[in-house]
Structure 1
Amino acid sequence: MTAFTADGLQFGKTRHERWRLLPARLGRMLWIAPIILALSVTTLYPTVFLLALAFSKSTLGKPFRGFVGIKHFATTVQDPLFLSAIGRSVAYALSTSLLQLALGFLISLLFTSLLKAGRFLMSLVLLPLMTPPVMVGVAWKLILAPAGGLLNGTLIKYGVISEPISFLGHPLLAWLAIAVADLWQWTPFIVILCFAALSTIPEGVHEAALVDGANAWQRFRHITLPLVAAPLSSIFLLKLILSFKLFDLVYILTFGGPGFATTSAGFSIYRRAIEQFDVGRAAAETIVYGLVIGLATLPVVRLHQHFERRES
């Protein structure tokens, strides 16, 4: 029997009732056990392991050789090379994500207006997305090569330049080359997501606006854009996170050069761990970079929440 207080409030169950409810509780625990196990393996364990490395003297072959406290973090936040790499990564991620979102959204609008032809073109757009990142880097390195490269050869052929340009040997041009390769690879992904967002807009809304005499710009500004604002902010957040993970294109195209001009934060952490064998310092840099990513993406998350509240 369940016990009650003087006010009639339940405050406990008898042993018999607890044993009777035990199978149901065990059943609920078994349902969520795979999720807890997966989160522990993929999130909890790597996080704890990373923190342990960051607070210890660890090399690639001999981890956890001694506790060093916050020494790695103090060194990391005072390292001008790593701070510069973080600055470059943040600037690159924000600029390329905005550009790719704008371009992908415009292409998806074109595909939407083409109706059935747009769905056929969507399958062609998928081709760059299905190309392995390493192959993308190799292909663009061949295109941009000073000697025998397709781009230099074309520019010389039509008299635009008189001698080959080392696109990957100039700091600004090297970043532009990485951005172009990234644009070619990931814009199709943005197009697909934007096309899906535009497909959710009811046709009746546009038809009603046409009846009311709204032109194309007015329909886009007052109907299309507000209805897809929340999905677009989600797409931008996803691409922003992907851009923060920039590594493969830097590794293949420039290897961080010329000098340290195109060294991203991810590539700097890789060199610290793999080339210098300082795994503890690399773990601390990873945590610091993760915090920077969190701060950089927080305004986008808030913007997405604002758009969702406005829709509801």
Structure 2
Amino acid sequence: MESAFGAALILMLVSASAAQNDCMCPTNKRAQCRTDSGSCICTAIGSNQRLDCSMLTSKCLLMKAEMNRIQPRTFKKPKHGFVDNDGLYDPDCDARGFFKARQCNQTETCWCVNSAGVRRTDKGDLNMRCSELIRTNRISIGLKHQVRKSPFLKSEVKNNLQQLIQNRYMLHPRFITDVVYDYPFIHIDLKQNASEKSFRDVDIADVAYYFEKDVKGDSLFLPSNAFNLSVNGEPLDIEEILIYYVDEKPPEFSMKRLTAGVIAVVVVVVLAIVIGITVLVITGRRRTGSYEKVEIKEMGEMRRRQNS
């Protein structure tokens, strides 16, 4: 009797698993689908609109999904947040192993960094001075995993990543302020003010560096401590990672830091304003000139009438 019950239970689990795997949208490969109460529910990427997979998806929704795939707009850049555009360099560390506020390279070019070692000013020469080491008190990590037939459960992604960060990188849970999953994107927010961090607490900048190395397949741990990023046993294959650093004080980049596109927009706006002012001045002068001509003509006619 028990064996028959066990066989029936296994058959039910296999059937449920097969139903989950068959949950897809035959008319839209970019749809995100999930099984709910035995029904396969599919929604459009980028809009989350419910789809009827027995029909073609509208062009508008398809284009929106395509743009979401090419230019994902998942999590906004944090205010005053900036990325590490310089990569690896030979840093100057103090006796405690912390970054010194000023860093220089062999070409006698210097710059100021934050406590995460990320440049936060324009580059200068050896005369450059950095009065203090500004602390990075927030790190925002954006991840994108490979497209799959159905998204993971949000609660499971959050729990698994929180446990990974706590156990593997020894970060106290109070510094993990948020983990948000919006298929296929994940946002991890770490916050740690200087007043909250004790001597034994791991720094969030170190956690982000170890995590980035793990994701990119260049782990800093021994091979015996293999990196296993998964959700309930299913691999969480990360395709992209982006890290924003937010300091206690805003960065001090000048206009040189702006991209060519932003500079071009600024130039166009300034030129438009100058041209507009010039047109107004010229038009005003022409109108003034025409008024003067009319007044002179009217005065001439009045004089002729008086003489006659």
> Which protein is bigger by CA-based radius of gyration?
2
TM range (shorter): under 0.3
TM-score, normalised to structure 1's length? Answer: 0.21
Determine which structure has greater relative contact order: mean sequence separation of CA pairs < 8 Å that are 6+ residues apart, divided by chain length: 1
Q: Which is richer in helix?
A: 1
Q: Which is richer in strand?
A: 2
